[in-house]
Amino acid sequence: MGSAFVYAAARTPFGRFNGALAGVRPDDLAATALRGVLAKLPQLDPAEIGDVVWGNANGAGEDNRNVGRMAVLLAGLPVTVPASTVNRLCGSSLDAAMIGSRTVESGDADVVVTGGVESMTRAPWVLPKPSRAFPAGDVTAVSTTLGWRLVNPRMPKEWTVSLGEANEQLQERFGISRERQDAFAVRSHVLADAAWNDGFYDDLVVPVEGADLARDEGIRPGTTPEILAGLKPAFRPDGTITAGNASPLNDGASAVVLGSEAAAARIGADPIARVAGRAACALEPQMFGYAPVEAANQALRRAGIGWNDIGAVELNEAFAVQSLACLDAWKIDPEIVNTKGGAIAIGHPLGASGGRVLGTLAHVLRERRQRWGLAAICIGVGQGLAVVLENVSAA
């Protein structure tokens, strides 16, 4: 089997819930990211794309019915380009990249575009179908924006707690203080703001037509520990998790072009990084925030390297507490983690975040001239994903 390489990455700016991207349909966001990443490879004939694999978590509204295929059509690609949509909740677009890399490695396609999209603003309310005709009672509309919905009563109650409550339990288990969480959140805003000011994201982020949004909408460069300390706990009266040390609700899309080594001539560019290892891990649903720990360890083993080899980590910051729990378990230098900011500042549009962390990692490795890096993400209902990249220019 051959290797799969990252050739290009792009994403939209991430908008806040009911913010600058609220008027943009998710399938249009997906098409924007798809066009944006292909614009970076003008020599690539879109008809050469063997498959498009797209991630999406909610899929109950305008992103239903295979939003990956909708993006291909809306982006103006040839109708002969196939596409599928995968759902591994928060890890959907990282899962899409993992699937795409296997497709390239197996030789089933030389070029695969992967990515993901989420409009959490436009996620609809849904109604369950009645179990019998003409029910007389009222029916409750359920939001599909985030978390469990229409829960099967056979599920154990401890599995179906809210995402916030699950992370408060993680805080209790590992004793991660409110102060550490707030400091981690402040760092995310400071680094994201600095990365934008330094021009790092200029090559990664593509504008959304009709939206007045030049950069990620949630970044607050003036955030301080004192400001965050004044926020009330969001999930428990005496809890540690607040709106300031957790990722917000967001809208956005991301895309990554993967290809074989032999495809470089047709793509018209040299690869940025090689996909060296992948892994998925699962735990009890309420432990989802800790699931990246073993996923990363497995991915490193499959890549044939150890933590001492890793020069950069992109870990999706769903919550500060779960991010810190993972870093503590890995025993790594926190200064190599999310050096361009993380999801607490940038945002976490569920289906798009995996592609964001993977694309960011490839560019950080190249900028910092580090050989090995790891992208990881936690996933609701107890899962985690991780991918190891090798910077081919530093190999």
Please list the active-site residues: 90, 348, 378
Helix, strand or coil, per DSSP, at residue 33: helix
CA distance 77 to 285: 39
Q: What are phi and psi of 22, to 5 degrees?
A: -60, -30
CA distance 324 to 4: 31
Strand 111-119 versus strand 51-55 pairing type: parallel
Contact between 341 and 191 (Cβ < 8 Å): yes
- Paired residues of 310 in beta bridges: 372
- Percent of the chain as helix, strand, coil, to the nearest 5: 40, 20, 40
CA distance 314 to 342: 8
104: CB partners within 8 A, 6+ apart: 2, 3, 4, 5, 110, 111, 112, 258, 259, 260
81: CB partners within 8 A, 6+ apart: 46, 47, 49, 51, 52, 72
Contact between 265 and 203 (Cβ < 8 Å): no
